[in-house]
Structure 1
Amino acid sequence: MSDAIPAATIILLRDAPRFETLMVVRHTNIAFAGGAMVFPGGRIDAGDHAPQWEDHCDGSGDILQEQLAPRIAAIREAFEETGLLLARRGGAMISADEALKLASWRPRVENDDALFLEMAAGEGLRLALDALHFFARWRPPAGVGHRRYDTWFFAARAPASQIAEPDGGEATEVVWAPPGAMLAERDAGRRKMIFPTSRNVELLNVSASTADVFQFASERSIRLVEPRIIERDGTAFLTIPDDMGYPVTEEPIELAMRS
């Protein structure tokens, strides 16, 4: 069994006009979670580990070393899939106009992750690593799922003026909605979510604001979540420990990806 693939995901949040999170709908032709609603994210690539990033990031000196590349990857993936960029120029988060001027970089970075560093250096940008809050880490054990990802989840306030647009490749739609509304769409069969996504949207739903999410994340004991399969009365369940703060901790296998 191959090792889990390192990955990173970003949960972008806003409070106006109401408390909402941003999710994207994956293209139906993508092998992993095709057609599902997910948070922006993807693999941690080699370029995300480049030592030169130290000169183009805010907060890197206060972040655990093992989280540096995941945070860079999370910001990069959000930029590729939605156009939202958590980066500063001259100490201020870039504006909608500045982000729009960088849009031509999106497909280029998606095709070659090393160009993200080139863009940051050439455009005088500093990635806002300090704006990300560690929210969760999930890794299915061997034997659960045909493709395994070791995924870091980070929560962040979305740049106030920037506008999210899907890349049309990996992401075919971007959706802003309250976590509860996302879950209602899932339960009604209008949206698909895989097991880790559902659990983390449910976890978001215990909060009423972006500040609440950050506070809850700072107070919660965040441990690696490793789902496992159990059988009860002839039914197989995918389950996680019940002491990790999640409101829902198990689901029948056949519902682990709802459609």
Structure 2
Amino acid sequence: MTSARSPGGEVERQRSAAVRPRDAASVMLLDRQGARVRVLMGKRHSAHVFMPDLYVFPGGRRDAGDHRIGFGSDLHPSVLHALKAVGTRELTDARARALALAGLRELYEEAGIAVGQPAPSATASVPFLPDLEKLRYMARAITPPGHARRFDTRFFALFADEAKIDPTRFLDSRELQDLQWIDVNDSPSLRIPDITAIILADLRSSLDTDPSLSCERAVPLYAARRGRLVRTLL
């Protein structure tokens, strides 16, 4: 008697579990001009394999060339230090900085928002020199095993007024549609991923504790452990 092999579905699940998370970054752009703080969100295109038709913050994976993007100002030392600390190994300054650069590049590509001064060279990968110094490192989340695509995403916060951004000027893109400002204190009626709801709750709590979102702060990491999402502080 021979034993039957696992069906194709089981093989696919095993392949999905073996997918390694790719570095990614997301920017929570905050508007605090009114009585309530708002965050910019948009809907992912229905053609996306990962999280289609869900509302998220602008962001995406880190590209190979992100570490070569010139920048106008560097990360706060505490933010750079926190980004570099990854378990038992440490990222280089360049790789950690590339995560922040990826986030601002994606904010420009998905929402038309440039954070920084115009780049002096027309051949630059983005038409501005990103200003990194006002970014706060807020959270890190790793997509659980079992997904066709997995990301190790770092979430940054940025106040629009500090970055000299006009909150009325943003553009939909092929990647992110129906961009809109969402009150961080309201439960959004939009369809959002579970992890986005968790990050929003963390953001609310952080703003209640310290409205300025100090750069010297413990950063929560969300990762699956034995089938459960576990929160630890970096």
Q: Same fold by TM (over 0.5)?
A: yes
The equivalent residue for 2:110 is 81
What letter matches 1:128 in structure 2? D
User: Hey, what's the Cα distance between the residues in 2 that align with 1:196 and 1:156?
Assistant: 19
Relative to structure 1, the CA distance from residue 78 to residue 209 in structure 2 (aligned partners, 3 Å threshold; closer, same or farther) is: farther
Residue deviations 1:212-244 (CA, integer Å, cap 9, x gap)? 2613x633x2253213464xxxxxxx5323x65
The equivalent residue for 1:11 is 28
RMSD: 2.8
Matched, 1:130 2:133: yes
| Cα distance, 1:180 vs structure 2 | 2.8
What letter matches 1:72 in structure 2? L
Q: Secondary structure at the match of 1:166?
A: coil
The equivalent residue for 1:93 is none
The equivalent residue for 2:143 is 140
The equivalent residue for 2:229 is 239
The equivalent residue for 1:30 is 48
* Mapping for residues 191-230 of structure 1, pairs under 5 Å: 191-208=190-207, 212=211, 214-215=213-214, 218-219=216-217, 221-228=218-225, 230=227
* Mapping for residues 245-256 of structure 1, pairs under 5 Å: none
Matched, 1:40 2:58: yes
The match for 2:165 among 160, 164, 169 is 160
Indicate conservation of the 8 Å contact 1:140/1:228, yes or no: no
Q: Secondary structure at the match of 1:58?
A: coil
User: Hey, what's the Cα distance between the residues in 1 that align with 2:154 and 2:41?
Assistant: 16
Q: Secondary structure at the match of 2:216?
A: helix
The equivalent residue for 2:74 is 59
Instruction: Provide the TM-score with structure 2 as the length reference.
Output: 0.73
Relative to structure 1, the CA distance from residue 61 to residue 133 in structure 2 (aligned partners, 3 Å threshold; closer, same or farther) is: closer
Relative to structure 1, the CA distance from residue 146 to residue 164 in structure 2 (aligned partners, 3 Å threshold; closer, same or farther) is: same
Indicate conservation of the 8 Å contact 1:14/1:210, yes or no: no
Relative to structure 1, the CA distance from residue 75 to residue 179 in structure 2 (aligned partners, 3 Å threshold; closer, same or farther) is: same
What letter matches 2:73 in structure 1? D
Unaligned runs of 5+ in 2: 1-17, 82-92
Q: Secondary structure at the match of 1:67?
A: helix
Q: Alignment length, in residue pairs?
A: 196
Indicate conservation of the 8 Å contact 1:15/1:210, yes or no: no
Instruction: Provide the TM-score with structure 1 as the length reference.
Output: 0.67
Relative to structure 1, the CA distance from residue 210 to residue 59 in structure 2 (aligned partners, 3 Å threshold; closer, same or farther) is: farther
Higher helix share: 1
